[in-house]
Structure 1
Amino acid sequence: MTESGNYREAAVSFGAVAAEYERGRPGYPDELFDAVERLWGRSLKGARVLDVGAGTGIATRLLAARGAEVVAVEPSDGMAAQFLASAPTLPLVRGTGDELPFHDGSADLICYAQAFHWTYPERSVPEAIRVLRPGGAVAAWWNVYDETVPWVRARDERMAAALPDRYRGYGGISGHTSHFAPAGLAVERAVLHWERRVTVEHVLTDLTSRSYLASLSPEERAPVLAAEREAMLTEFPDGVVVEPFTLDLTVAVKRG
């Protein structure tokens, strides 16, 4: 994982756009949690679950709704404040996946929703193994736009042209989760497809929360978002967008 200034700046940028993150980011379909249970071989109901890099609690709330005994783990002040405003009844612990503030063998499942790539796997994978009980698992997943759809590809090209030093697009998760099998975890994967219907303004709110824009100042973001609004309204003149997502899931089970 790079130590570059841009990367470190992006990693700490989310706190300033926590409200936009909560309003704009997509949630997850029930099928995701069905797939987690199937690949893990256990039910979420009653499981002790850590949602690491919980952000504003989007996944945390859904895990709790499935009956998990979930604890959120979040390092950012801004994101933690938004989490407490959005989910005041759910427990929140400040920390990171690279140094989990939990006892050995104290969790059944450790989840990373859009977050594992912000860890250092050489640290976070051994930490997960330490904290997991035998038969426990790490579940890492990413909602990414379906780049087979023409308007999604066109937006990728616009972002790459506007932000050549920041925008990298989606390179797949195999590089992020390749540390699981060498660490002795049994790895399973699934890919799901789903979509949501939102307004163009909602899309722009979501974009504001993405690291490549969140790490810019509001003045720097404004022209990029204005150009994107114009392009999106040309594509969707009624202001309504059907966003197609690929949901990439890896579940890695601790043997024993």
Structure 2
Amino acid sequence: MTDYQLKVHAESFGAVAAEYDRARPSYPIELLDTIEELTGRPLKGATVLDVGAGTGIATRLLRARGALVTAVEPSPGMAAQLHAVSPEIPLVKGDGNELPFHDATADLISYAQAFHWTEPDRSIPEALRVLRPGGALVLFWNLKDRSLPWLAEQEARLSAALPSYHYYGLMNAVTEPLGRYPFEVHNRVLRWERRITVEDVITDLRSKSYFAVAEPALRESVLAEERAALLEVFPDGEVTEPYSVDLTVAVKRD
């Protein structure tokens, strides 16, 4: 994907913020446990910047754990949805390439489904600048388990139908650049699943950037075909989606 295409995709989420908040998956509680294990400190009382917070799905989990969390989000549409749902969460306009915070002010900087929208040569030094000694950069993604036939078949259909379809296999891509900086890097994979309806799957797909940037006629045609394909596999309309959470925790060396 070119830089221009990346920018277009990144800016597409505002128009689908409601769908994103309604249908995107949350995260298992084990994720927060593992973050605490790998950082060596509790989230409760920690100063956290959740960058690329979107509609606040991960932000709310961090806050519920007791973190003093500020959401950082560049998209006005996504930020508006976050504020509408969670007005109590402090919210700052910004992105990871140029964090609007002073040096050494955060215990943890998190990116949920968001680090791949940054430029690592800018966002990693920015994280180092803003993190306190011993603080951590925490990156995680929910990834569907495409070893299942129905999910592999879905990926093949979407890849064939949508010119800008993309799927991220992310952990190795982020670990390599982190290794060039003064971090102690840990990786984990956590597995979980959720049960949702076929219509929820369609809403989730509608919130993807490769659907948001598609021509409306193409988007609706592909979604209709996908609904029909899913109902063939799940005639009762109930879908079990298996996920892995790819987690990278990079602790800043003192």
TM-score by length of 2: 0.98
Q: For 2:211 and 2:242, locate their aligned partners in 1 and report how far apart those are by CA, in whole Å.
A: 21
Q: Output one character per residue of 1:129-159: Cα deviation in whole Å (capped at 9) or x when no partner.
A: 0000000000000001001111111111111
Alignment of 1:61-210 (within 5 A): 61-163=60-162, 165-210=163-208
Amino acid at match of 2:192: W
Q: For 2:188 and 2:110, locate their aligned partners in 1 and report how far apart those are by CA, in whole Å.
A: 15
Deviation of 1:105 after TM superposition, in Å, equals 0.3
Asked if residue 19 in structure 1 is aligned to residue 18 in structure 2, the reply is yes
Q: For 2:14 and 2:199, locate their aligned partners in 1 and report how far apart those are by CA, in whole Å.
A: 21
Amino acid at match of 2:39: W
Deviation of 1:8 after TM superposition, in Å, equals 1.8
Asked if residue 53 in structure 1 is aligned to residue 52 in structure 2, the reply is yes
Deviation of 1:169 after TM superposition, in Å, equals 2.2
Question: Secondary structure of 2:180's partner?
Answer: helix
Higher mean C-alpha displacement, 62-71 vs 180-189 = 180-189
Report if the CA contact (8 A) 2:195-2:241 is conserved: yes
Q: Output one character per residue of 1:12-44: Cα deviation in whole Å (capped at 9) or x when no partner.
A: 100000000000100001000001111111110
Percent sequence identity is: 59
Aligned to 1:215: 213
Q: For 1:232 and 1:245, locate their aligned partners in 2 and report how far apart those are by CA, in whole Å.
A: 17
Deviation of 1:224 after TM superposition, in Å, equals 0.7
Gaps of at least 5 residues in structure 2 are: none
TM-score by length of 1: 0.97
Aligned to 1:241: 239
Amino acid at match of 1:105: A
Deviation of 1:175 after TM superposition, in Å, equals 1.1
Q: For 1:178 and 1:96, locate their aligned partners in 2 and report how far apart those are by CA, in whole Å.
A: 21
Note the aligned Cα RMSD (angstroms).
1.0
Higher mean C-alpha displacement, 246-255 vs 173-182 = 173-182
Question: Secondary structure of 1:237's partner?
Answer: coil
Higher mean C-alpha displacement, 129-138 vs 166-175 = 166-175
Amino acid at match of 1:53: G
Aligned to 1:226: 224
Q: For 2:193 and 2:186, locate their aligned partners in 1 and report how far apart those are by CA, in whole Å.
A: 24
Q: For 1:136 and 1:30, locate their aligned partners in 2 and report how far apart those are by CA, in whole Å.
A: 21
Deviation of 1:220 after TM superposition, in Å, equals 2.9
Amino acid at match of 1:203: V
Q: Output one character per residue of 1:66-113: Cα deviation in whole Å (capped at 9) or x when no partner.
A: 000000000001001000011110100000000000000000000000
Deviation of 1:181 after TM superposition, in Å, equals 1.6
Higher mean C-alpha displacement, 214-223 vs 28-37 = 214-223
Gaps of at least 5 residues in structure 1 are: none
